[in-house]
Chains A and B, each alone.
Chain A
Amino acid sequence: MRLMIRRLKPEARTLAIVPPYAWLILFFLLPFLLVVKISFSDMEFGIPPYGSLLSFEDEMVQISLHLRGYILLFTDNLYVATYLSSLKMAAVTTLCCILIGYPMAYCIARSNPRYRSLLLLGVILPFWTSLLLRVYAWIGILRNEGLLNQALMWLGVIDSPLEIYRTDVAVYIGLVYTYLPFFILPLYAHLVKMDLRLLEAAYDLGAKPWRAFLSITLPLSRSGVIAGAMLVFIPTVGEFVIPELLGGANTLMIGRLMWTEFFSNTDWPMAAAVTCVMVLLLLVPLALFQFNQVRQLEERR
């Protein structure tokens, strides 16, 4: 490493860092700043459908910040309810992913190494098939005359079909189903690296399996759980496709709201304001995720 840096003259190193850095600033940071800017502009009819913040009149440069979007966001109950509902749905989804995903990741990591890579492939495979089509598959399963209701009625568990399709329950199923592999994979990577001798030592000292799990396995897999939970929670808050396909008219989620403001109402400043507040809400989980990423990078160095 040191040899490489010594060979690379300082200018060469800068030359290697600057282009990807510039690309990221142009296509990632700058667009975000534009969203913030446009959230403060006024809606206009025309192309683009928003006004400019700066105006030059009577030898004065005027900056006008329009707060219409933000005022509406915090006074209209629909918006507040939508944010709360999105956060609730993301939290419940994350919890379900932890409850289903942890035992699965644990069992895969403790399986015979001969089957382990096959089991892992089984988790990765759905990840490679289209999300859109996999969510679409749930429509066929959850509908009133769908597979699930047919199976339950055939088994005699229920007499009349359950209404699941186009309700919040269907959205939860779709979200957990879609994001489960995102939770299992980082957690598995942590569990499989764990030094099993620690567990043996705990058993030798007389610890019950449950106690050994709580005081050894769980703490050691903590950053895997955090990484997985954030990979589920953050995108779920802004999810659009799943609530749109499986949810009903009263399934409130920010992604849908923002989509309506943008495409149906062509109110770009309002859509931008909705987006800004969403990112602000996600700032804490995003910071947690980034902190976890940087720490993992440094641990491996």
Chain B
Amino acid sequence: MTTRNRVLHWAILGLGYAFLYVPILSLVVYSFNDSNLVTVWGGFSLRWYRALFDDATLLRAAWLSLKIAFFTATAAVVIGTWAGFVVARMGRFRGFSLYVAMVSAPLVVPEVVLGIAMLLLFVEMGSLIGWPTGRGAFTIWVGHVMFCMAYVVVIVQSRVRDLDRSLEEAAMDLGAPPLRVFFSIILPQLAPALVAGWLLAFTLSLDDVVIAAFLSGPGSTTLPLEIFSRVRLGLKPEVNALAAILIGLVAVGMGIAHWLQWRRESARP
């Protein structure tokens, strides 16, 4: 690379990353602001963190969201792995195009569309078979599994394609039945993809406003719904504190994941 190119290269990356990170950093910095006016600096303080932990409504919503996200991620990994394995390994069965379309559409279809569609399904089911009787954590869970599953499928199917077939073939030559091959040969090799898929589904579920708004009922206000109803009217300093905590957790988690991967790669001969 010539010097001019190198300057251009780093200028593009510098500006691009500044655009991505300035908003995130500003949230963290202003979460330590003592002033009531969110954009005026009034000195360092932890008062918004204290306010956050005294806020029973917000804590209750956070606990509900964590529970929903945990069960969503678990179910999405189970169904998504199955669905992704079918995409990668079952060849072109009848209806393959429709299957691929249905499995990847939630990645792009606007959330308002998914939200109203799932809601109408539950309403019609409720009037036809009397179940589910109302909307709440359960309906939010099903809706979240539906759209998080698509992300798991993307991750799992690309990993399945990269697997070394010779291990499976050896197991089958030794007489292992297909299910045994799946659970003792394929699944352990997919472990990193499953962890990544679980974490992604967990994050997506924890962050969703729109689908939850359609599928929630009285008493099932999730954390994003609570935050959304507060910040709709402007800035709320306690939300900055919450954001800083969540960003910190993500940064630490990603840092550890990256470090583990880096260590594994450098341990390889």
Contact = CB atoms under 8 A, between A and B. Distances in A.
Given A7-B178, A31-B120, A136 B104 contact: no
Given A24-B99, A297-B100, A139 B231 contact: yes
Contacts of B214: 262
A64 to B, nearest CB: 18
Nearest to B253: A128
Contact of B108 (A230, A255, A300): A230
A158 interface: no
A20 B79 contact: yes
A25 B102 contact: yes
Interface string A120-145: 01111110111111101111110101
B113 A30 contact: no
Nearest to A86: B110
Contacts of A168: none
Contacts of A5: 91
A230 to B, nearest CB: 6
List the 9 closest A-B pairs by CB distance, nearest first: A238-B110, A31-B117, A137-B23, A20-B83, A31-B121, A234-B108, A133-B243, A24-B102, A104-B16
Interface stretch (A11-19, A54-62, A193-201): A11-19
Interface string B221-240: 00010011001101100011
Nearest to A143: B39
A3 to B, nearest CB: 6
Interface in B194-239: 200, 203, 206-207, 209-210, 213-214, 224, 227-228, 231-232, 234-235, 239
**Chain A interface category by residue count:** 35 or more
Given A130-B224, A286-B108, A28 B20 contact: no
A254 B112 CA distance: 9
A192 interface: no
Contact of A24 (B103, B228, B231, B234): B103
Interface stretch (B44-52, B54-62, B244-252): B244-252
A12 B258 contact: no
Contacts of A74: none
A3 B168 CA distance: 10
Interface in B60-119: 79, 82-83, 85-87, 89-91, 93, 95, 97, 99-113, 116-118
Given A35-B120, A132-B227, 10 more contacts: A29-B102, A31-B121, A35-B113, A125-B250, A133-B227, A136-B239, A137-B23, A138-B23, A145-B39, A262-B214
Given A38-B120, A137-B243, A24 B22 contact: no
Contact of B89 (A1, A31, A262, A282): A1
A130 B110 contact: no
Nearest to A28: B102
Interface of A: 1, 3-5, 7-8, 12-13, 16-17, 19-21, 23-25, 27-32, 34-35, 38, 48, 100, 103-104, 107-108, 110-111, 117-119, 121-126, 128-134, 136-141, 143, 145-147, 150, 177, 180-181, 230-231, 234-235, 237-241, 244-245, 254-255, 258-259, 262-263, 268, 271-272, 275, 278-279, 282, 286, 289-290, 293-294, 297, 300-301
Contacts of A133: 27, 227, 239, 242-243, 246-247
A21 B97 CA distance: 12
A28 B12 contact: no
Interface residues of B, number: 89
B20 A20 contact: no
Contacts of A262: 116, 214
Interface of B: 9, 12-13, 16-17, 19-24, 26-27, 30, 37-40, 79, 82-83, 85-87, 89-91, 93, 95, 97, 99-113, 116-118, 120-121, 123-124, 127, 142, 146, 157, 161, 165, 168-169, 172, 178, 200, 203, 206-207, 209-210, 213-214, 224, 227-228, 231-232, 234-235, 239-240, 242-243, 246-247, 250-251, 254, 258, 261-262
A282 B243 CA distance: 34
A19 B161 CA distance: 21
A234 B110 contact: yes
B210 A241 contact: yes
A147 B26 contact: yes
12 contacts: A13-B90, A16-B86, A17-B93, A27-B118, A35-B120, A140-B30, A140-B240, A181-B20, A238-B111, A255-B112, A272-B116, A289-B104
A259 B200 CA distance: 27
Contacts of B13: 104, 107-108, 111, 119
A133 B142 CA distance: 24
Contacts of A125: 250-251, 254
B24 A137 contact: yes
Contact of B117 (A13, A34, A263): A34
Given A286-B105, A289-B108, A290-B100, A32 B165 contact: no
